[in-house]
Amino acid sequence: DAGITQSPRHKVTETGTPVTLRCHQTENHRYMYWYRQDPGHGLRLIHYSYGVKDTDKGEVSDGYSVSRSKTEDFLLTLESATSSQTSVYFCAISDTGYGYTFGSGTRLTVV
């Protein structure tokens, strides 16, 4: 996925610990998004950003926070991880707010 990198690719963490996922882009796109993907639910929007320090909630934002201090970085933090947050997390970027490019994903397991 040229221009967009997610880290880590895999993570196992314990219930109750904070976790931060990173999305880094080199495309200078204005819009950045965090989605989670679960069987039976498809892709659901967690949070999104429309500029530096400008963020808003998506449909499943409870238990998550985000920060964007630079154009290229969008961080997703699970404040106190729970087993229900075990999922695959995708970051996406867009310059127009229309066609999105997705990162490779982070597989998070909360035990």
Partner 1 sequence: QKEVEQNSGPLSVPEGAIASLNCTYSDRGSQSFFWYRQYSGKSPELIMSIYSNGDKEDGRFTAQLNKASQYVSLLIRDSQPSDSATYLCAVIGGKLIFGQGTELSVKP
User: Per rule CB under 8 A, is residue 109 in the interface with partner 1?
Assistant: no
Size of the site for partner 1 (CB under 8 A): 22
Token pair, residue 103, equals: 């990162």
Q: Which is nearer to partner 1, 54 or 80 (CB)?
A: 54
Look up residue 65 and give its amino acid: S
Give me the least distance between CB of 17 and partner 1, in Å please. Answer: 26
Choice from 9, 16, 17, 41 touching partner 1 (CB under 8 A): 41
Measured between alpha carbons, how far is 19 from 3 in angstroms, rounded to an integer?
24
Look up residue 94 and give its amino acid: S
Q: State which of positions 46-75 bind partner 1 (CB under 8 A).
A: 48, 58
Which residue is associated with the tokens 């970027």?
A: 93
Residue 20, strand partner residues? 77
Residue positions counted in the chain: 111
Q: Which is nearer to partner 1, 18 or 43 (CB)?
A: 43
Whether cis (ω within 30° of 0) applies to the bond prior to 39 is no
Q: State which of positions 1-20 bind partner 1 (CB under 8 A).
A: 1
- Which residues of this chain interact with partner 1, rule CB under 8 A? 1, 33, 35, 40-45, 48, 58, 90, 92, 97-105
